[in-house]
Structures are given as C-alpha cells and as structure tokens.
C-alpha cells in the first residue's frame, strides 16, 4: 500500500470505529488492530486518535456543508429551498450514516469549527439572508429573520437526528412533512406575533 492508500484505509477504519463506539471508547490499539497495522503507523499518519478524529470531522463537515450550501442556492422559490435543504440533510444521513453519527456526538477534541452545532449555525446564517430578503418582500420585519432561520434549520436538523435511527418513513415523505410544517407556518406569519396570555 502507498502512504496515501494506507492513510485512507486508516481513516475508513477510524471513521467506522468512532461512529460505532464514540471518540472516548475508541483506542489507537483498536484502530491499528482493525487496520492490521502497528500502533506506530497510526501515530505516524495522524499523531494519535485526536488527529485522526479531527481529519474525519473536517471531511464530514465539508461534505455536509457543501450539500446544504448547494441546496440553499439563491434565486429559487423559498419553498423549493426548504425542500432541497431537508432532502440534502436526509441524503447525507442516508449516504454517510457513520459520518453523521460522528458529527452529532459530543467530543472533547471537536473544535468549535468542527461541531454539528457550529455547522448548523453556519447554515442558519445562510438561511437568515434568504429569509430576510423574503421578509422584506412580504412587509415582515427582516430583523426577525435570524430567529426564524434558527428555528427552521433546527427543526430540520433535529428531524434528521431522529430519522438517523428511525429510517421510516422514506426520506422523501419526511422531507415533504418538514416542508408542509415549515412552509405553511412561514406562509401565515403574522407581522407582530404576541403571546395570548402573558403572565
């Protein structure tokens, strides 16, 4: 195996173990044994499991962010944007289950830029700009767009976490229900909502 092939093999093994057991429960010994190499080979490529974990998380974040960014491309009807964002997340979960499991776990070595919550925050910022534009067109206060962006992205992200284990109904059905709730809710927004019975 070339050094590059060995590195990729180790990343595949590490990715599967981190998804299955979590960061804390995975050891360099276990990674080396499953890859059929000695521990020094793992250290040579990554400096330890922290380095390997960081590379895996960075790759997963980049992949998911790329899929979501493509879905959030402007100049589409807002309902289509919500549809595509929901499907992009569910597509990622389906095609990269191990990667999603790793992203949604808390890890002491995950840097601020490599956590699922920071990724969702990045996506919410993109959604915020799209919503602000739509709010202005509908005579709603664009200053409230960040609130709605967090709610919308959070709703999709939490549903994705649930679907990771449930896997039923089909992702297109789940996406349709997400869009139904989000779109019908957004379509009937009040300009100045208020709590009916304030204490």
> CATH number of the domain that 136 lies in?
1.10.357.10
The pLDDT value recorded for residue 82 is 87
Which pLDDT belongs to residue 112?
47
Per the domain annotation, does 151 fall within a domain? yes
Question: Looking at the domain assignment, is residue 136 inside a domain?
Answer: yes
- pLDDT digit string, tens, across residues 49-61: 999 999 999 999 8
24 contacts: CB under 8 Å, gap ≥ 6: 107, 108
**Residue 114 pLDDT exceeds 70:** no
Residue 183 lies in a domain: yes
Residue 104 in domain: yes
Domain that holds residue 142: 57-187
Structural domain includes residue 71: yes
117 upstream amide cis, omega within 30 of 0: no
Give the global pTM: 0.85
**pLDDT confidence of residue 134:** 85
pLDDT in tens, 2-47: 999 999 999 999 999 999 999 999 999 999 999 999 999 999 999 9
């Amino acid at each position: 195996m070339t050094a590059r092939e060995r590195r990729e093999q180790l990343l595949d093994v590490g990715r599967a173990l981190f998804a299955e057991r979590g960061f804390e429960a995975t050891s360099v010994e276990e990674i080396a044994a499953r890859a059929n190499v000695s521990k020094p080979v793992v250290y040579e490529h990554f400096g330890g499991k922290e380095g390997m974990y960081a590379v895996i998380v960075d790759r997963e974040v980049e992949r998911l962010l790329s899929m979501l960014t493509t879905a959030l491309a402007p100049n589409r009807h807002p309902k289509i944007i919500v549809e595509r964002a929901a499907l992009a997340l569910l597509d990622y979960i389906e095609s990269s289950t191990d990667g999603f499991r790793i992203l949604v776990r808390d890890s002491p070595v995950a840097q601020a830029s490599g956590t699922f919550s920071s990724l969702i925050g990045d996506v919410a910022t993109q959604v915020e700009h799209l919503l602000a534009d739509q709010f202005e067109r509908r005579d709603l206060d664009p200053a409230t767009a960040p609130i709605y962006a967090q709610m919308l992205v959070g709703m999709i992200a939490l549903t994705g976490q649930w679907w990771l284990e449930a896997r039923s109904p089909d992702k297109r059905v789940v996406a349709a229900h997400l869009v139904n709730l989000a779109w019908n809710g957004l379509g009937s927004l009040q300009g100045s909502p208020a709590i009916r019975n304030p204490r």
